[in-house]
Amino acid sequence: MSTKTIIKVCGLTQADEALTCVELGVQWLGFNCYQKSKRYLPPEAIATIVKQLPPAAKTVGVFVNASAKEIEKILQQTGLHLAQLHGDESPDFANTLQVPWFRAFRVMNDLAEEEIRSYGQELFLLDAAQTGQYGGTGHAFDWKVATRLRDHGKLLLAGGLRPDNVKEAVLQVRPFGVDVASGVESATSRKDPQKVANFIAAVAQAEARW
């Protein structure tokens, strides 16, 4: 099933699960390059999976406060298409990168549009914030913030999305895409094909009401 809304499944660790996601209709696949993450994969393992994917699948590496050299090297090693900056990376740092990237913003109570604009990128991600954690919290944030910011560019909505709430999120926010990790897992790092299918179906149901 294909959707107009981009669906990104993040934190993939197994080739068979990545391929199943693509077969079900997931357009973007995320791999965690942050070593402190429980879903971390070394570059060699990511490269092995990426080589098995069809060309149409867009692949994203998630980084947290890595050096420019590390980010560029890992994208070259793995064949990943995009770097997702999910830490405290400044606009000056991000704009020195020699690879395609987009910035993830962690939403506390509010987020200024000026902060997003300062990066000069059309694509951006909004995620829930939790003290001491860089994403992957499994918690949602107030979608009113996302609704206010969606017209800035191509918004990827993340944070606590699941098959049972993504329909409402898409109806309310109408984002460019939705990003899910723990919401489609049967256990940590293990993606459940049925949950992925249900997630995609819920997005399609929301689109049918536009």
Return the active site residues. 10, 127
Question: What six digits make up the tokens of 19?
Answer: 């391929």
Helix H or strand E encompassing 115: helix 113-117
Residues forming beta bridges with residue 31, ordered by sequence position = 61
Q: Which residues of 158-195 are buried (b: 16+ CB within 10 A; e: fewer)?
A: bbbbbbeebbebbeebbbbbbbbbbbbbeeebebbeeb
Neighbours of 10 (CB within 10 A): 25
Instruction: Classify 113 as helix, strand or coil.
Output: helix
